[in-house]
Amino acid sequence: MTYEVKSLNEECGVFGIWGHPQAAQVTYFGLHSLQHRGQEGAGILSNDGGRLNRYRDTGLLAEVFKNPSDLEKLTGSAAIGHVRYATAGTASINNIQPFHFEFADMEFGLAHNGNLINAVSLKAELERNGAIFSSSSDTEILAHLIRRSHNPSLMGKIKEALSTVKGGFAYILMLEDKMIAALDPNGFRPLSIGQMANGAWVVSSETCAFEVVGAKWVRDVRPGEIVIIDDSGVHYDSYTDDTQLAICSMEYVYFARPDSVIHGVNVHAARKKMGRRLAQEFQHEADIVVGVPNSSLSAASGFSEESGLPNEMGLIKNQYTQRTFIQPTQELREQGVRMKLSAVSSIVKGKRVVMVDDSIVRGTTSRRIVQLLREAGAAEVHVAIGSPELKYPCFYGIDIQNRRELISANHTVDEVCEIIGADSLTYLSLEGMIEAIGIDTDAPNGGLCVAYFDGKFPTPLYDYEEEYIRSLEEKTSFYIDNVKKG
């Protein structure tokens, strides 16, 4: 049995609002600030007095809503929205969220960020009992569980469904008379509650959306929590007590926007601290620090301040890199690489450069950047990575490459250093990263999920269990086909 889970794994962004006359428009602006979490597709579902309307399509938010009338039709004072991560080949509109489920007796909308780890077995069991799925997304499972629950109350059905799915999830449901947000028992994915000046409640994957729509942060949704928002206000409930915070550490390292605050920690500040700590652990002589734009600029800044080395703009990112349809021919391939990033010769020439990056996945990009710096005249290139070695896949919502592709799953630090052509290679230690982020010193791993670094998954692996065990036995051949970044 091969696991074709390619379209199940996804990093996405969700947003919801209750109580604003331009609910869909506010959602549009909220999603715009979450665009970095997903570029494959986007959608908004609005609630106009209990009647739900939805519009969705593939592409960036601005492409999906290029016709303003498509947004204007989404009338009503409540709405939820979703941006979806780009995975190659399966850009079917069927998988674009929010989903909209309609029945003779009710209707509801559903948006989901995360990845279930018992999706395959749940789906198989549901199908054996007559269920028909209309997408290849695991998000639909929750809807089937809700509709098939024998619990007499709708809230009871929803809690029962939430207790049945396993893995990482941040859900927003739009019912006819209320909006519901729910988080998995480990809080793998971020989800925050805010409030606008007019009293409207908003829910968002990241707090950066609150800035954009003019809302104030109220509090983060907690593991195992279910938040009910209706015209009477916000109510916090839970569907389980068996919780333990293990927020994805990669949100701090790479995914989230630097101006977001997750569990009380500003992402830029965390990255800067990781850069400072990395500088402490770094043991080489150098002249300047160069961050790989844009995600590593914060870490480079911290590294520079701690080390005293000047922080220079030795690498320039072209602002117009999104989606070109022209592929360089074989002869021009090396040039094509330089479309995204250029090294500034007048800065790096003759210098011993510390190149700060957030992570190394397959190593190919790092190798090219090292080469760019050398061609621009760098005397030495010391690579410093603001996180530990990536050795294990993630099952809770990030689409880390399968182990066969993870360079650190198959090579030692020295080997990687040689492969990428660097003069030295330094990873931030796991302890260093946990301390630098510093959410909660009392919790295991400081409240973080660090399984991609140490292989210790905070939950059973359900459908992935067998593969994982196999992977321990034959390390480098560990292979989950088609697990894409997401």
* Interface characters, 196-235, with a second copy (x: CB under 8 A): ------------x--xxxx---------------------
Cα separation, 267 vs 256, in Å, equals 7
Under rule CB under 8 A, residue 481 binds a second copy: no
Under rule CB under 8 A, residue 327 binds a second copy: yes
The piece of 58-66, 174-182, 360-368, 462-470 that touches a second copy (CB under 8 A) is: 58-66
Under rule CB under 8 A, residue 335 binds a second copy: yes
Name which of 9 and 471 has its Cβ closer to a second copy. 9
Closest distance of CB 86 from a second copy, Å: 13
Under rule CB under 8 A, residue 339 binds a second copy: yes
Under rule CB under 8 A, residue 51 binds a second copy: no
Is 12 marked active-site? yes
The piece of 28-36, 392-400, 410-418, 434-442 that touches a second copy (CB under 8 A) is: 28-36
Under rule CB under 8 A, residue 152 binds a second copy: no
If DSSP states are collapsed to H, E and C, what string results for the chain? CCCCCCCCCCCCEEEEEECCCCHHHHHHHHHHCCHHHCCCEEEEEEEECCEEEEEEEECCHHHHCCCHHHHHCCCCCEEEEEEECCCCCCCCHHHCCCEEEECCCCEEEEEEEEEECCHHHHHHHHHHCCCCCCCCCCCHHHHHHHHHCCCCCHHHHHHHHHHHCCEEEEEEEECCCCEEEEECCCCCCCCEEEEECCCCEEEECCCHHHHHHCEEEEEECCCCEEEEEECCEEEEEECCCCCCCCEEHHHHHHHCCCCCEECCEEHHHHHHHHHHHHHHHCCCCCCEEEECCCCCHHHHHHHHHHHCCCECCCEEECCCCCCCCCCCCHHHHHHHHCCCEEECHHHHCCCEEEEEECCCCCCHHHHHHHHHHHHCCCCEEEEEECCCCCCCCCCCCCCCCCCCCCHHHHCCHHHHHHHHCCCEEEECCHHHHHHHHCCCCCCHHHHEECHHHHCCCCCCCHHHHHHHHHHHHCHHHCCCCCCCCC
Closest distance of CB 439 from a second copy, Å: 14
Name which of 38 and 388 has its Cβ closer to a second copy. 38
Binding residues with a second copy: total (CB under 8 A): 87
Distances (CA, A) of 434 to 50, 279, 301: 45, 15, 19
Q: Is 295 labelled as part of a ligand binding site?
A: yes
Whether the Cβ atoms of residue 10 and residue 84 lie closer than 8 Å to each other: yes
Q: Which amino acid is at 50?
A: G
Residue ranges in 249-288 that form contacts with a second copy under rule CB under 8 A: 257-259, 261, 266, 268-269
Place of tokens 């793998």: 188
Q: Which amino acid is at 473?
A: E
Under rule CB under 8 A, residue 151 binds a second copy: no
Considering only 152, 322, 350, 472, the residue that binds a second copy (CB under 8 A) is 322
The piece of 121-129, 165-173, 458-466, 476-484 that touches a second copy (CB under 8 A) is: 121-129
Residues 6 or more apart whose CB falls under 8 angstroms from that of 309 comprise: 286, 287, 288, 289, 303, 354
Tally the residues of the chain: 486
Under rule CB under 8 A, residue 416 binds a second copy: no
Residues 6 or more apart whose CB falls under 8 angstroms from that of 366 comprise: 357, 360, 383, 420, 422
Q: Is 358 labelled as part of a ligand binding site?
A: yes
Residue ranges in 4-23 that form contacts with a second copy under rule CB under 8 A: 21-22
Closest distance of CB 162 from a second copy, Å: 17
Name which of 118 and 301 has its Cβ closer to a second copy. 301
The piece of 229-237, 306-314, 426-434, 459-467 that touches a second copy (CB under 8 A) is: 306-314
Name which of 48 and 305 has its Cβ closer to a second copy. 305
Considering only 2, 320, 350, 473, the residue that binds a second copy (CB under 8 A) is 320
Closest distance of CB 130 from a second copy, Å: 4
Under rule CB under 8 A, residue 155 binds a second copy: no
Whether the Cβ atoms of residue 53 and residue 102 lie closer than 8 Å to each other: no
Name which of 21 and 50 has its Cβ closer to a second copy. 21
Closest distance of CB 404 from a second copy, Å: 25
- Phi, psi (5° rounding) for residue 423? -80, -30
Closest distance of CB 25 from a second copy, Å: 6
Under rule CB under 8 A, residue 124 binds a second copy: yes
The structure tokens listed for 466 are: 């067998």
Under rule CB under 8 A, residue 161 binds a second copy: no
Under rule CB under 8 A, residue 116 binds a second copy: no
The piece of 170-178, 331-339, 446-454, 459-467 that touches a second copy (CB under 8 A) is: 331-339
Under rule CB under 8 A, residue 325 binds a second copy: yes
Considering only 313, 460, 470, 476, the residue that binds a second copy (CB under 8 A) is 313
Residue ranges in 62-91 that form contacts with a second copy under rule CB under 8 A: 62, 65-68, 71
Considering only 222, 338, 352, 411, the residue that binds a second copy (CB under 8 A) is 338
Under rule CB under 8 A, residue 28 binds a second copy: yes
Among all residues, which ones are annotated catalytic? 12
| Binding residue positions | 295, 357-358
| Binding residue positions for Mg(2+) | 295, 357-358
